[in-house]
């Protein structure tokens, strides 16, 4: 009988411009590794990690996920959750979500309840874990880490009258799509997502809503093409006139980083999730285009210069979309 399961889940970028809290994409850049081990009931839920993360299960994303899933299924065993963080925490790369997703898959697998945890139910529990860092549940990053590729989540529609069912769709993305992420070396507050959600405007202009909606729906339309989607047309619609203008004030040098990325050939550039990382998108070989292949390294260097103009150093990560999580060990 399997007593212990180890899962690797990818980091992700959320929002992708106009899809605030709705769009997410798994990135083949960093992966968290979570081992869930069955223990006797008296053990309860314990977190083990040598990384700088909360060890109290009520304050840890993975701890909340385990508690929520086990409570729903009436599982009374104890579990040890061992977490190896590789995703930088607090930089808009879906760090807490990667641990949440890995833990959700581990629990489902360990207790052989996979068939009872329908995918959308699993998303509900993994999103619940996000409360630990964001203050409220949101599902874009966890959906990307759970299902891979590009995801669209809708927590407002509950199919089959299941209040825990979050509607989600995962789309394959064009193979030639590349992301350049600039991760600034600045300190971030402990509950960064909560802080960066507090600057989002309460009221917005109707025409801005229409523009974001047009861009968001066009991105989906592009991915829904029967023939291979065009990464350039997908990327060119990554434009956000609502959240980015409010949040960019929290990112020193943002305007310059974005301008430099676009001048160097990126199709789009925006804040990755709640920031402060900035992410540029490009299609290396757009279908039917005679455009010169664009150099991701050049875009990375341009973004670095942008941050430098604000006296901020940054790491540059060039990546593709990730196909999603993987169970790497069963013992």
Site for ligand HSE in 157-176 (CB under 6 A): none
Query: Contact with ligand HSE (CB under 6 A): which of 7, 11, 15, 98?
Result: 15
Q: Which residues contact 164 (CB under 8 A, 6 or more apart)?
A: 72, 120, 121, 124, 125, 158
| Phi, psi at 46, each rounded to 5° | -125, 140
Residue 47 near residue 135, CB atoms below 8 Å: no
Total number of residues that touch ligand HSE (CB under 6 A): 13
Tokens of 152: 């669209």
78-84/45-48 β-pairing: parallel
Is 228 a known active-site residue? no
Let me know: does 302 contact 260? Beta carbons within 8 Å: yes
Query: 98 or 302, CB closer to ligand HSE?
Result: 98
Nearest distance, CB of residue 94 and ligand HSE, angstroms: 6
Residue number of the CB atom closest to ligand HSE: 273
Cβ nearer to ligand HSE, comparing 5 with 65: 65
62 forms part of the interface with ligand HSE (CB under 6 A): no
321 phi-psi bin (left φ>0, alpha ψ -120 to 50, beta other): beta
Contact between residue 27 and residue 181 where contact means Cβ atoms under 8 Å apart: yes
Pick one of 8, 38, 138, 304: the residue that binds ligand HSE (CB under 6 A): 138
List the one residue from 274, 302, 312, 316 that touches ligand HSE (CB under 6 A): 274
From 120, 130, 222, 244, active-site residue: 130
Q: Which of 193, 244, 270, 296 is catalytic?
A: 193
List Cα–Cα distances, 291 to 223, 268, 283, 288, in angstroms: 21, 16, 10, 9
Beta-carbon contacts of 111 under 8 Å, excluding residues fewer than 6 positions away, are 38, 70, 73, 75, 77
How far apart, in Å, are the Cα atoms of 127 and each of 16, 21, 101, 166, 246? 18, 11, 9, 9, 24
- Measured CA distances, 176 to 130, 283, 290, 293 (Å): 31, 5, 15, 11
Is 35 one of the binding residues for ligand HSE (CB under 6 A)? Answer: no
* Smallest gap from residue 244 Cβ to ligand HSE (A): 10
Q: How far is the CB of 14 from ligand HSE (least distance, A)?
A: 4
- Contacting residue, 61, 141, 212, 230, with ligand HSE by CB under 6 A: 141
Q: How far is the CB of 304 from ligand HSE (least distance, A)?
A: 23
Q: How far is the CB of 163 from ligand HSE (least distance, A)?
A: 21
- Does residue 153 belong to the site contacting ligand HSE (CB under 6 A)? no
Is 14 one of the binding residues for ligand HSE (CB under 6 A)? yes
Q: Which of 13, 33, 60, 100 is nearest to 276 (CA)?
A: 13
Among 8, 38, 197, 258, binds ligand HSE (CB under 6 A): 197
Active site includes 270? Answer: no
Instruction: Provide the H-helix boundaries in the chain.
Output: 61-73, 95-110, 119-129, 131-134, 140-147, 192-197, 206-223, 231-236, 243-247, 254-263, 296-308
The residue from 235, 273, 300, 321 that contacts ligand HSE (CB under 6 A) is 273
**Of 14 and 250, which CB lies nearer to ligand HSE in the complex structure?**
14
Name the minimum Å distance from CB 27 to ligand HSE.
13
Tell me the catalytic residues: 130, 193
**Can you give the binding site for ligand HSE, defined by CB under 6 A?**
14-15, 20-21, 92, 94, 138, 140-141, 193, 197, 273-274
């Amino acid at each position: 009988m399997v007593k212990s399961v180890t899962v690797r889940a990818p980091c992700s970028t959320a929002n992708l411009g106009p899809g605030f809290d709705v769009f997410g994409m798994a990135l083949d850049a960093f992966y968290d590794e979570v081992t869930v081990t069955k223990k006797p009931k008296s053990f309860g839920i314990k977190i083990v990690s040598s990384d700088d993360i909360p060890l109290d299960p009520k304050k840890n994303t993975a701890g909340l996920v385990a508690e929520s899933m086990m409570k729903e299924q009436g599982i009374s065993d104890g579990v040890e959750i061992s977490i190896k963080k590789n995703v930088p925490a607090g930089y808009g790369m879906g760090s807490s979500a990667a641990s949440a997703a890995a833990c959700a898959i581990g629990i489902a697998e360990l207790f052989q309840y996979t068939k009872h945890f329908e995918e959308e139910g699993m998303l509900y529990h993994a999103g619940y874990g996000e409360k630990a860092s964001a203050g409220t549940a949101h599902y874009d990053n966890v959906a990307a880490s759970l299902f891979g590729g590009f995801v669209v989540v809708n927590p407002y529609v509950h199919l089959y009258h299941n209040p825990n069912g979050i509607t989600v769709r995962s789309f394959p993305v064009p193979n030639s799509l590349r992301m350049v992420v600039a991760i600034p070396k600045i300190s971030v507050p402990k509950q960064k997502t909560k802080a960066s959600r507090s600057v989002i405007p309460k009221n917005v202009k109707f025409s801005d809503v229409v523009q974001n909606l047009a861009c968001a729906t066009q991105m989906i339309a592009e991915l829904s093409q029967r023939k291979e989607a065009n990464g350039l047309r997908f990327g060119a619609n990554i434009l956000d006139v609502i959240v980015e203008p409010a949040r960019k004030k929290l990112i020193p040098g943002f305007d310059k980083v974005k301008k430099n990325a676009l001048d160097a050939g990126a199709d789009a550039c925006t804040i990755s999730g709640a920031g402060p990382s900035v992410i540029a998108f490009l299609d290396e070989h757009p279908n039917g285009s005679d455009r010169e292949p664009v150099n991701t390294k050049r875009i990375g260097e341009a973004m670095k210069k942008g941050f430098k103009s604000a006296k901020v150093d940054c790491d540059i990560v060039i990546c593709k979309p990730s196909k999603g999580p993987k169970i790497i060990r069963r013992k």
